[in-house]
Chains A and B, each alone.
Chain A
Amino acid sequence: ETGVTQTPRHLVMGMTNKKSLKCEQHLGHNAMYWYKQSAKKPLELMFVYNFKEQTENNSVPSRFSPECPNSSHLFLHLHTLQPEDSALYLCASSQDPGTVYEQYFGPGTRLTVT
């Protein structure tokens, strides 16, 4: 266990649904990240939060809406997704913005959009 948990582990949703992914880290870290992992593609950074403040939005469509209520929790709210959004969504954390090289990843949520 890496100390980063994600729920649900699997999610199937229609294009008109609204759902949320949850990430929780038990490491006392102050930086949290959302990544998208598609087949045969590199991990794509989506969002970065440092000390609960969003510091990076990597040109992510507005149908993905992140929320970071505190340093331990990170959410990704999903609405009106497209089939090409089907992927593994990974959450990660690091001690602080300066230790971006030492990220701890959760197991991911496998999302399927039908």
Chain B
Amino acid sequence: GESVGLHLPTLSVQEGDNSIINCAYSNSASDYFIWYKQESGKGPQFIIDIRSNMDKRQGQRVTVLLNKTVKHLSLQIAATQPGDSAVYFCADLNTGFQKLVFGTGTRLLVSP
């Protein structure tokens, strides 16, 4: 069935390091991918998105890479800061079905 999963449940990094969070998806018909950040006590917050006709998209300190060949998505955070500590979710969308499918999340822990 359709699923979106994450390789690691927890990622620990030092402040200033670059972080890479990975996600695998199974639906080859997905045409839109989103990364969310969820801080403790808050709901998920949109970070960055990418369409299936793109391989890379950059935001402020974040970059999303999409490899459709292996159905893999990654979120790169440059110069990770303590405020980046949160759970990060990927989600995919088949615009024909208009429903987001979420992954389980990776907890990012940033040490000072």
Listed in ascending order, the chain A residues whose CB lies under 8 Å from chain B are: 2, 4, 40-43, 45, 48, 56, 90, 92, 97-98, 100-108
Contacts and interface: CB of A to CB of B under 8 A. Distances in A.
Contacts, number: 49
B46 to A, nearest CB: 7
A101 B99 contact: no
B104 interface: yes
Contact of A43 (B42, B49, B95, B102): B102
17 contacts: A2-B43, A2-B45, A4-B43, A42-B89, A42-B101, A45-B99, A48-B99, A90-B43, A92-B43, A97-B98, A100-B93, A100-B98, A101-B100, A102-B46, A104-B46, A107-B41, A107-B43
A108 B43 contact: yes
Contacts of A97: 98
A101 B34 contact: yes
A107 B41 CA distance: 6
B73 to A, nearest CB: 14
Contacts of B89: 42-43
Contacts of B93: 100-101
Contact of B44 (A41, A43, A56): A43
B38 to A, nearest CB: 8
Contacts of B44: 43, 90, 105
B4 interface: yes
A106 B43 contact: yes
A104 to B, nearest CB: 8
Contact of A42 (B32, B46, B104): B104
Contacts of B41: 107
Given A97-B98, A100-B93, A101-B32, A42 B103 contact: yes
